[in-house]
Structure 1
């Protein structure tokens, strides 16, 4: 049966059709064309325009130089308050990766022979609807799910989440933000009352003490590190990390603690600060709750216990406490070394607690500051409709559902009254046969999900797997039944929200190749094909979705209803939320909580704490080493879906996977440099080149996360509150080939 027969309101002409052997885009060529509403900004054929980079959460602005209407080169924007004329290697090469030969340029459908073969868009949409609706009829409405991303513009995230949950009846959907930021999100919600990173990048330059916990900004966020280098206050730079990372090498204090003992360290640090009276009693009394209980809780974390569990020297711990007390403005920064843990939420809150104790929040150069991972993970956290209802609302709150329904003009009954399964629970649901169909958008779980062999086996059990991506060669796309070709950064419009809550614009500066479409346009096709297009009829363009997002944010801590439009964001160099319609602060760099008021109903932040738990998989006689994973170089990004397409970037990082070992371990295992070794865990093994380096401690090894085989080794262990995977620690052995 054709898609038109299934849905008489939908004709091939309203989608895409063949004319003279070529695909004609009638409905979808440009947002704003053919009755689609608000048109994109029209750029002069030979001009320069600026837009936010599409890699990490720093949110740098890049000047894109056009010739004959096409982007030909770029350079960093000197006036943008984020990067101030700087760019990392990934940003410089952002256009190059769009020209890769393995771009997905047409829909691909797996045929009877088991091969992915080109089809047109009407056929692809017909198969999408037929297969997913058949699964729902046979197994129930919640038997299909989606996995999204922190890489798409916020408007596309909002459209996807609304389409999937309100239109297609998917209760369950999550994003790859679960892999990097979930622990910080839960920590902020519990401690502050809302997911609210409090800082501005100006704080890098205004701190007297910068404490980096499980963070290596020198590689992972190079422009943030450049902002640290602009600090003129002769700051103490403290790095708390088991490895001597590039950031640690530049630090004034490096606390190379035992892996996953950060929580114990910060409880012990809190005890010293309280015992010595090195706290801000006025701030504690006026702005926090639970201090007395916290003080009682940390009493057992004396110096002897902390030394034993962290393997640090007592003098290192005492020096850090003295530094925080004596130097004035202290800021605390963390990333994946904290979040990707079996106890990431409580570890993040142990850091937050120290900031609250010392009043280091709401003032210049202070803060308990989670550095986000992906370019739009903050947008995902607020608007993807995965972990919460649009605009930072709650699916379980009737008033919130009514507000969202009113803004969108839909029936409240279409909004789920319960939360989705988390990413790991969706994967478990597939394994148990509860979820039969999966729509994966702009992410690559067959590479990135923990315990890779098990993850691939789970994906292969699906009755129908749809992958929507820029490239048809990703490990997940190669397992798909249907591949939908998507436009990438620079080929569509929208906004990103960076780590410091700054909303910035991306623009269409070139055409997507072949029949590839912006994700926004694909979602419109799906809505029409499914028969729920009327529900989203006013979302005629990303700019129209942005108007709805403004209303959804109104009255929330993230209120940005005062942002006029995309041009306003361009003029202002991006805008940090909150920016309400009335009383918006026009300062280009702003922090939260300057008034000492937080987002809990009583206006107070909470001390949240819990006894640390041991790692679930400790080294043993069979697997005597502890594997750490993380960023390899500043030129690599996640699963290398994009960065591997740049010849320049490929020259800047090792092509072959490698493992770093301490010289003592290498000698004991008879391993020599630059020789192949096998790294094994209980779940699998990989081959890697041996790198002998004193930067890793005895008993630990390090492998960059970017290589395909790395997650064959990692253990599927999750934080109980955030459900974030613990990528950073599992037991392995290394043996020479």
Structure 2
């Protein structure tokens, strides 16, 4: 078939970028930004630009698999057998233990139509509110903040406000990594309007801080104290809008009594910042013609997340900075359709159309609309509560869709134990390689990006039509179609003889029924349809019936969806994070994102290109803490919390303060034995139920693992990954990643106290293709050292070092350069594994700086040494000329040309 282009949206963060999918009707061939989409106007970040490289078919779930008994392996089955079995188990469980003995756990990556089908299934048919999503880990504190302060879960701003604001405050978000397309817009606005002030509040000095006029490196968890301290100064200096406060708000008197005690001296001490910094921040906010705040997980993932959100919104209400261009509180959604999930009721406390499950009137409205007698009254379980009940045995059957709780939830040892205890776990998932897949009794293959149709809502309330470009592989089906098929089979068992609640044939029909539940609500979608979106393009809600355009901003009239029509000042006192530094756990672990990876790496982890910038999990510590612990870069440590431990290499990093440690959130057990969330804590906010993933008390213990393993093999990387990962399970430290671009390869680094049985190495060699053929080998049994290199057509295709791995960087660089010279052959036969010093290649292999143009650090540094500036580097090397995500690092290299380039080991 001829090459075609289909307009759709990106499936990563909540920016909601439009993409053009290039395909031939059978497979996706490329991707580019959609210049007509108002969320991005053709821009894409490094993740979006490489979408077509993800989703390796060998990583996909292609057909249903069923396990009859926890000790057995799953076997392939047909759809009828799979769904009939699931319906029978759920019906029997409900009959024996009641509807609340089953639960559904969804994802912020589903389409709106998928959410709606699941909500109707859980609440109208099963009769349970036990339906939650991983948005609980992402945006639920923002939901509470908006509802308490403004009356509805409705971000009032739009993306144009980034370019129109005079003062932008970014809080708890490495926006340069998490929402790069929006960050580029802000960067461009700042360059065109240098007087714009940018404030960044983050414990770490991230790439986002490079744009800041003021960086407040507050101590983790002290945001409420900071916001109260800023409000204290706004009130003291009379930098407030008295007319707006009097006409449109309530509750300031009570809040003033609270913040009176948050003096500059106290707040500076609590937050670990200077009084002058605090005063400068307050002055810019209080005197700016327009003030915009942007935030993400650093505020939300906290046991005080709701208080942090409301305390931030208080600043906007006090200054009247809401409802007009360049002003307002603006949460940056973490997932592509977490907004759509909130709109359809896919949190256990919500119902479709921004209704409350606890509200009898709301329940009656939805029940009447669906044609059922009533909805359940018992409150549903949020994510952490759900898995606690799974562990205790109350939940007997769990349906998981498009999410990976065996990687993403905190306290992983308990989560995995809970999944093992559950009698019946269904996983509806596109990727068979996720950590959760191992726990599924029934695996149902789902369609993925580019393979399904529906709608999504982005951070600025903009609804886009997601179009299908190619059919899903194998027997995979759209999520809504799987859900409806199961629901129809279940209702024949639970409601025999009654008309079906699920007589839908396509996503259009699901959307059309759902939007009726929004009519007259704050998020009115009644005027939208797929046809209208195709004709007018993506639209912001509310978009009531009869409208011809969406609503760019909310609350411009000063009327809020509260009982009184007034916004509320909310006064919660500062409460410290649940785990503070103490003698047994003297470090605070904070988590965050990498530039080119996303969430649990279910998708990005299938693309070798995504590992070019950072190739393994590294624990970042301030250099003073490294010296204090007598550690060097690359040393292995056991990172321990009250819940578990993980072995990980350390690296010095002065972007974190002494007493803190940073570990990227993405590394699950598949890539790093144990995974990051083995140590994070499940303590959650009492209102939003969002866990405090960002803040855990930890300690370090050096580990001595003298026997080491390094392996690299190209070709069939996903199949080799699946075969080799279980073989490494018995080793103390295991790290797996991909590398390369044109020649993707799997890289394994492992360590153990002593050499394993020879059978293990033999099995590893077999899967590496090092057991036969053109393989050069050297073994020293006395010292347990072994070397294997496969050379085909004068090119290295596989490597295995065992015992010690000093030559791994040198060998990986030879592999990258596609050469196998005589020096390599001489080294292979030498007793020592140390790389030849004359080669100059004993240092770490080059890392990718610019993913879009495949430009490495060394090329950029060579260009800088030759006198090139940023513009010339863009022109000659191409770096920074496409998505721009690498620009902050290039600027830092330009600023430190006299310093040697440090490439982490």
**Which residue pairs with 1:720 in the alignment?**
686
Name the CA shift for 1:324/1:543 in 2 (closer, same or farther; >3 Å).
same
Give the secondary structure class of the aligned counterpart of 1:536: coil
Match of 2:39 in 1: 82
Name the residue aligned to 2:456: 496
Moved more, 669-678 or 473-482: 669-678
> In the TM superposition, what is the alpha-carbon distance from 1:505 to its structure 2 partner?
1.3
**Among 326, 332, 355, which residue is 1:393 paired with?**
355
User: Could you tell me how far apart the structure 2 residues matched to 1:332 and 1:381 are?
Assistant: 21
Q: Does 1:580 align with 2:540?
A: no
Is the CA contact 1:289–1:605 (under 8 Å) kept in the aligned structure 2?
Answer: yes
Partner residue of 2:654?
A: 694
Aligned to 1:416: 376
Query: Does residue 700 of structure 2 align to residue 734 of structure 1?
Result: yes
How far, CA to CA, are the matches of 2:52 and 2:116 in structure 1? Answer: 26
How far did residue 676 of structure 1 move? Answer: 2.3
**TM-score, scaled to structure 1:** 0.91
Residue 154 of structure 2 corresponds to: 196
Paired residues for 1:144-293 under 5 Å: 144-231=102-189, 232-234=192-194, 235-293=196-254
Map 1:632-671 to 2 at 5 A: 632-633=594-595, 635-654=596-615, 656-671=616-631
In the alignment, the residues of structure 1 paired with residue 308 and residue 631 of structure 2 have an alpha-carbon distance, to the nearest angstrom, of 35
1:365-404 alignment runs, 5 A limit: 365-386=326-347, 387-404=349-366
Q: Secondary structure at the match of 1:531?
A: helix
Give how far 1:90 is off: 1.6
CA distance in 1, matches of 2:438, 2:25: 36
Distance in 2, matches of 1:724 and 1:468, equals 24
1:207 and 1:329 in contact (8 A); partners too: yes
Deviations 1:158-185 (A, max 9, x none): 0011112211233311110000101000
Correspondence for 1:313 among 266, 269, 274: 274
Contact 1:143–1:434 (8 Å) recurs in 2: yes
- In 1, Cα distance between the equivalents of 2:290 and 2:476? 50
Alpha-carbon distance in 2 for matches of 1:196, 1:535: 33
Deviates more, 1:235-244 or 1:471-480: 471-480
CA distance in 1, matches of 2:391, 2:143: 27
Q: Do the aligned partners of 1:45 and 1:69 also contact (CA within 8 Å) in 2?
A: no
Structure 2 residue ranges without an equivalent (≥5)? 493-497, 669-674, 704-905
Report the CA distance between 1:403 and its aligned residue.
3.2
Instruction: Give every structure 1 segment of 4 or more consecutive aligned residues whose post-TM-superposition deviation is greater than 6 Å.
Output: none
What's 1:13 paired with? Answer: none
C-alpha displacement at 1:407, in angstroms? 3.6
The reply to whether residue 58 of structure 1 matches residue 58 of structure 2 is no
1:49-103 Cα distance to aligned partner (Å, 9 max, x none)? 2111111100000011232565322210112111111101221222332333021
Q: Which has the higher contact order (CA 8 A, sep 6+)?
A: 1
Question: Is 1:407–1:548's contact at 8 Å kept on the other side of the alignment?
Answer: no
| Aligned counterpart, 1:10 | none
Aligned position for 2:52: 95
1:596-636 Cα offsets, whole Å, 9 max, x none, are 11110211100011111122211222221110001122x11
The match for 2:760 is: none
* Distance across 1 between alignment mates of 2:358 and 2:628: 56
| CA–CA distance in structure 1, aligned partners of residues 66 and 6 of structure 2 | 38
Q: Distance in 2 between matches of 1:404 and 1:134?
A: 26
CA shift, 1:385, in A, is 4.0
Tell me, yes or no, if the aligned pair for 2:311 and 2:572 is still in contact at 8 Å: no
| 1:470 equivalenced with 2:433 (yes/no) | no
> Is the Cα–Cα contact under 8 Å of residues 391 and 415 in structure 2 kept in the other structure?
no
**Equivalent in the alignment of 1:621:** 583
Distance in 1 of aligned mates of 2:611 and 2:260: 51
CA contact (8 A) 1:396 1:419 kept: yes
Q: What does the per-residue CA deviation read over 1:676-701, in whole Å, with 9 as the maximum and x for residues that have no partner?
A: 22211121111222121110000000
Q: 1: distance between equivalents of 2:436 and 2:26? A: 34
- 2:67 is matched with which residue? 110
Distance 1:424 1:66 in 2: 41
| Aligned equivalents of 1:262, 1:585: Cα separation in 2 | 41
Secondary structure of the residue that 1:379 maps to in structure 2?
Answer: helix
Kindly provide the CA deviation profile for residues 508-530 of structure 1, in whole angstroms up to 9, marking residues without a partner as x: 11111111111111112102211
SS at match of 1:734: strand
Residue number in structure 2 paired with 1:509: 469
Give matches, 1:115-154, under 5 Å.
115-154=73-112
Paired residues, number: 687
Q: Which runs of 5+ in 1 are unaligned?
A: 1-43
Offset from partner CA, 1:649-682 (integer Å, 9 cap, x none): 232332x211100011111111111232221112
Deviation of the 1:141 alpha carbon: 2.2
Contact 1:489–1:506 at 8 Å: present in 2 too? no
Stretch of structure 1 that moved more, 552-561 or 133-142: 133-142
8 Å CA contact retained: 2:141, 2:690: yes
Report deviation, 1:435.
Answer: 1.3
Q: In the alignment, is residue 543 of structure 1 matched against residue 508 of structure 2?
A: yes
Using the size of structure 2 for normalisation, the TM-score is: 0.74
Report the Cα distance in structure 1 between the residues aligned to 2:499 and 2:482, rounded to whole angstroms.
15
Higher mean C-alpha displacement, 335-344 vs 616-625: 616-625
Is 1:711 the counterpart of 2:677 in the alignment?
A: yes
Residue 406 of structure 1 and its aligned partner are, at CA, apart by 4.2
Aligned-partner Cα distance in 2 for 1:333–1:477: 35
| Match status 1:611 vs 2:587 | no
- Which structure's CA Rg is the greater one? 2
- Local SS of the residue matching 1:204: helix
C-alpha distance in 1 between matches for 2:227 and 2:490 = 52
Distance in 1 (CA, whole Å) between partners of 2:99 and 2:373 is 18
Note the C-alpha offset of 1:354: 0.5
What residue number does 1:4 align with?
A: none
In 2, Cα distance between the equivalents of 1:180 and 1:226? 23
